[in-house]
């Protein structure tokens, strides 16, 4: 159970760090084993669900920020009773109708793990929908400034979605970055123990540094979404329309919905 102060801080700041493990060491070890196996197998690659977020996704080059969307579709053992704790936190923060799911897994490989540039998650999603959601980020080993813990900017969840572009302005790269990161000030680093979580809103501006350590930084990300609604007023995200990624091509070839990128409530409508 979160305290009233924690719930208030989440709504005022747009993020919250819970620096106590939600799950025990045995469960973390179990999840790590599955996690390493699914990245070794590149689970979901043929569906466009496994790709290099920060690179051009060349199959012969080592991925610098490999990601797997909806990993429990490929490894159902990722589910477990620990999801009850995730769901309870989501309900406390967003209300009883919230839908939680395992959203993606993101790995920063030892030594070469790339930074995740400043961005807002909603910039990846459907421009004609209105979102009320949060991402719950859980490392499977301690997350530190040196291995790529998350950083947030307080109050940025109240902003509109800012202009984004593919990382490095390379349209072959799936990952997004703010076009002008100079809007970010006084960022807050959130180191965590294994099994702790940070929770941030769909527009909270956030970042993670590179992995400068000799060990992998593993994180699982859960989405917590209220039913989304059609958005009043037209909006376009040209940075997604312009992308030419091999991830998108694989998704098309396999008949995968393009809205696999959005939280659950969307894909089920
Ligand atoms: Ni993000």
pLDDT of res. 259: 59
Ligand 1 centroid to residue 119 C-alpha, Å: 6
- pTM score, whole prediction: 0.95
pLDDT of res. 258: 62
Ligand 1 centroid to residue 100 C-alpha, Å: 16
CATH of domain 4-115+125-268: 2.60.120.620
pLDDT of res. 229: 84
DSSP letters along the chain, please? ---HHHHHHHHHHSEEEE-S-SS-HHHHHHHHHHHHHHHHTTTTGGGT-EEETTS---TTSPPSSEEEESGGGT-GGG--THHHHHHHHHHHHH-TT-EEEEEEEEEE-TTTPPPEEEE-GGGGS-TTEE--EEEEEEESS-B-TTTT-EEE-TTGGGSPPPPEEEGGG-TT---EEES-GGG--S-EEE-B-TT-EEEEETT--EEE----SSS-EEEEEEEEEPPPEEPSS----HHHHT---HHHHHHHHTT--GGGGS-HHHHT-
Ligand 1 centroid to residue 206 C-alpha, Å: 6
Ligand 1 centroid to residue 121 C-alpha, Å: 5
Ligand 1 centroid to residue 201 C-alpha, Å: 10
In the chain (269 residues long), the average pLDDT of successive 10-residue segments reads 96 98 97 98 94 89 94 96 96 96 96 96 92 97 98 98 97 96 98 98 98 97 91 92 93 79 62
pLDDT of res. 260: 74
Ligand 1 centroid to residue 131 C-alpha, Å: 15
pLDDT of res. 269: 42
Q: Name the residue ranges covered by the structural domains of the chain.
A: 4-115+125-268
């Amino acid at each position: 159970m979160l305290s009233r102060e924690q719930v208030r801080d989440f709504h005022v700041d747009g993020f919250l760090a819970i620096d106590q493990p939600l799950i025990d060491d045995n469960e973390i070890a179990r999840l790590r084993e599955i996690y390493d196996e699914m990245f070794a197998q590149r689970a979901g690659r043929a569906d466009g669900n496994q790709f290099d977020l920060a690179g051009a996704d060349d199959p012969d080059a080592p991925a610098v920020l490999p990601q797997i969307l909806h990993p429990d579709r490929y490894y159902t053992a990722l589910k477990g009773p620990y999801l009850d704790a995730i769901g309870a936190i989501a309900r406390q923060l967003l209300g009883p109708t919230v839908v939680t799911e395992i959203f993606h897994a993101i790995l920063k490989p030892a030594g070469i793990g790339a930074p995740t540039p400043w961005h807002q998650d909603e910039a990846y999603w459907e421009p004609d929908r209105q979102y009320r959601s949060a991402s719950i980020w859980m490392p499977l080993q301690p997350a530190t400034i040196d291995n790529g813990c998350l950083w947030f900017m307080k109050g940025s969840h109240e902003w509109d979605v800012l202009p984004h572009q593919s990382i490095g302005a390379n349209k072959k790269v799936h990952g997004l970055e703010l076009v002008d990161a100079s809007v970010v000030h006084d960022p807050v680093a959130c180191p965590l123990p294994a099994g702790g979580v940070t929770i941030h809103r769909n527009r909270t501006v956030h970042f993670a540094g590179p992995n400068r350590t000799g060990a992998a930084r593993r994180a699982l990300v859960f989405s917590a979404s209220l039913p989304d609604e059609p958005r009043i007023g037209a909006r376009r995200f040209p940075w997604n329309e312009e992308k030419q990624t091999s991830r998108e091509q694989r998704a098309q070839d396999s008949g995968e919905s393009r809205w696999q990128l959005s939280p659950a409530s969307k894909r089920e409508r």
